[in-house]
């Protein structure tokens, strides 16, 4: 059987490296990577089992077009996803997500290739007091005022989703859009050397603080609710999408684990307990403190109160999430703890 050739644009990061690992020995698919750096792939793979193409999609238009022409399915994973970046460097977030992302869409249209586009649960914006889970085809996508830069990621990603849909109608583009809900697993973000080092997501803030003996900081009291999905479950959902092209074409899929909903304040306590039981090297026990959101992230921050996915659609492809919250945290914390010296700031700097 001829393998389908997958190209992962922005595939050398957290999710792309896991996907490559999973598909490395697949009978049905081969995977190539196109990215500006390969450090996470190097951590993951001693011997690279796939092709790596060093390209910058912001400038290497001809190379991107040629690579897309040479593959069957294009994943676009290139993204800057972290609330601190949305607030502190909104132009870079918009440029990569919207303008550079459009180039990937255009190349797929030109060469008539299937696009699997990584959207985000941020697209749903604020929960606005609603307790209903977010639905791909029914929920409104409502964000905040323009001066709150927090929403630039949400709105640029939303516009891209709308352009992909428009190309589906007007250009015959074959596509699937996926919306991950707070993915966690080995290799997520970087290990921080200090409390203001870089712009990771909540897992890495808390894990780094535990390892460094610093306080875990709850933004505005840690009232917000999130569901967390293990990256292995996410990758299995992507494979279900690949294996079901007829059912997945032209569709958006939420990918998350509703059972893993937790308040951020409770996440801090749970991670501190797991750390103390498994990894603590001394009697130092991190405090848990509250910080103001605007001070922690910067002016223009606003939070999403609750982000709960409806996953009925993706379950219709025969997939269901399997890894529950405690196992998810223990696995990711163990990997981070055991590899803390490799996951250094220096290695991560090379990846940015
Ligand atoms: N958060 C927190 N302390 C931190 C980092 C994040 O309380 O050190 C909160 C953040 O305000 C949000 C939630 O944790 O309510 C999840 O943040 P994350 O950065 O993972 O991204 P989001 O889910 O908001 O996109």
Span 196-215, pLDDT tens digits: 888 889 999 999 999 999 99
At a CB cut-off of 8 Å and minimum separation 6, what does 25 contact? 49
Which residue in 351, 165, 342 sits closest to 250, CA to CA?
A: 165
Report the separation in Å between the CA atom of 201 and the middle of ligand 1, taken as the mean of its atom positions: 6
Average confidence score pLDDT of the chain: 91
Cα-based angle 6, 176, 49 (whole degrees, multiple of 5): 20
Report the separation in Å between the CA atom of 150 and the middle of ligand 1, taken as the mean of its atom positions: 12
- The encoded tokens of residue 35 equal 């990215």
108 pLDDT higher than 80:
yes
219 close to ligand 1 (CB < 6 Angstrom): yes
- The encoded tokens of residue 347 equal 């290695």
Phi first, then psi: what are they for 120, rounded to 5°? Answer: -155, 150
Report the C-alpha gap between 338 and 341 in whole angstroms.
8
| Residue 274 within any structural domain of the chain | no
Active site residue 153: yes
DSSP-derived letter for residue 95 is I
| Residue 79 within any structural domain of the chain | yes
CATH (domain of 63): 3.40.50.720
Average pLDDT over residues 261-273: 97
| Residue 284 within any structural domain of the chain | no
Nearest CA to ligand 1 atom 10: 219
113 close to ligand 1 (CB < 6 Angstrom): no
Lowest mean pLDDT among 14-23, 209-218, 221-230, 336-345: 336-345
125 close to ligand 1 (CB < 6 Angstrom): no
Out of 29, 86, 124, 153, pick the active-site residue: 153
| Residue 17 within any structural domain of the chain | yes
Average pLDDT over residues 106-114: 98
| Residue 337 within any structural domain of the chain | no
Report the C-alpha gap between 324 and 228 in whole angstroms.
9
| Residue 332 within any structural domain of the chain | no
CA atoms within 13 A on the CB side of 58: 10
303 close to ligand 1 (CB < 6 Angstrom): yes
Digit-coded pLDDT (tens) for 46-101: 666 678 899 999 999 999 999 999 999 999 999 887 888 888 899 999 999 999 99
Cα-based angle 323, 211, 218 (whole degrees, multiple of 5): 75
CA of 234: how far to CAs of 39, 241, 251, 334, in Å?
A: 21, 11, 17, 19
Report the separation in Å between the CA atom of 202 and the middle of ligand 1, taken as the mean of its atom positions: 5
Phi first, then psi: what are they for 154, rounded to 5°? Answer: -55, -45
CA atoms within 13 A on the CB side of 309: 30
Domain total of the chain:
1
163 pLDDT higher than 70:
yes
| Residue 221 within any structural domain of the chain | no
Q: Which residues span the domain enclosing 12?
A: 4-184+229-259+306-324
Average pLDDT over residues 259-276: 97
| Residue 272 within any structural domain of the chain | no
């Amino acid at each position: 059987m001829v393998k389908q050739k997958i190209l992962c644009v922005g595939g050398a990061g957290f999710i792309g490296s896991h996907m490559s690992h999973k598909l490395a020995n697949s009978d049905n698919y081969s995977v190539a990577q196109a990215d500006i750096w390969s450090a996470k792939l190097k951590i993951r793979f001693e011997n690279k089992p796939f092709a790596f193409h060093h390209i910058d999609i912001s400038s290497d238009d001809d190379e991107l077009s040629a690579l897309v022409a040479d593959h069957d399915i294009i994943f676009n994973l290139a993204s800057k996803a972290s609330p601190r970046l949305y607030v502190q460097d909104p132009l870079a977030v918009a440029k990569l997500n919207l303008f550079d992302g459009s180039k990937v869409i255009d190349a797929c249209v030109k060469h008539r290739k299937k696009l699997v586009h990584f959207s985000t649960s941020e697209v749903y914006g604020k929960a606005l007091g609603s307790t209903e889970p977010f639905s791909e085809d029914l929920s409104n996508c409502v964000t905040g005022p323009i001066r709150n830069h927090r929403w630039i990621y949400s709105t640029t990603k939303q516009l891209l989703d709308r352009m992909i849909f428009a190309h589906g109608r007007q250009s015959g583009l074959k596509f699937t859009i996926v919306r991950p809900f707070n993915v966690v697993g080995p290799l997520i973000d970087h290990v921080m050397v200090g409390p203001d080092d870089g712009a990771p997501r909540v897992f890495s803030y808390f894990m780094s603080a535990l390892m460094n003996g610093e306080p875990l900081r709850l933004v505005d009291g840690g009232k917000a609710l999130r569901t967390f999905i293990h990256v292995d479950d996410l990758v299995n959902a992507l494979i279900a999408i690949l294996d079901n092209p007829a059912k997945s074409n032209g569709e958006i899929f939420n990918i998350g684990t509703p059972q893993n909903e937790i308040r951020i304040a409770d996440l801090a306590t749970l991670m501190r307990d797991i750390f103390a039981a498994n990894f603590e090297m001394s009697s130092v026990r991190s405090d848990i403190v509250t910080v103001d959101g605007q001070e922690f992230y910067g002016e223009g921050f606003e939070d999403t109160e609750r982000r709960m996915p409806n996953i009925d659609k993706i379950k219709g492809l025969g997939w269901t999430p399997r890894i529950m919250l405690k196992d998810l945290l223990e696995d990711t914390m163990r990997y981070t703890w055991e590899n803390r010296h490799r996951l250094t700031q220096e290695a991560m700097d090379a990846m940015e």
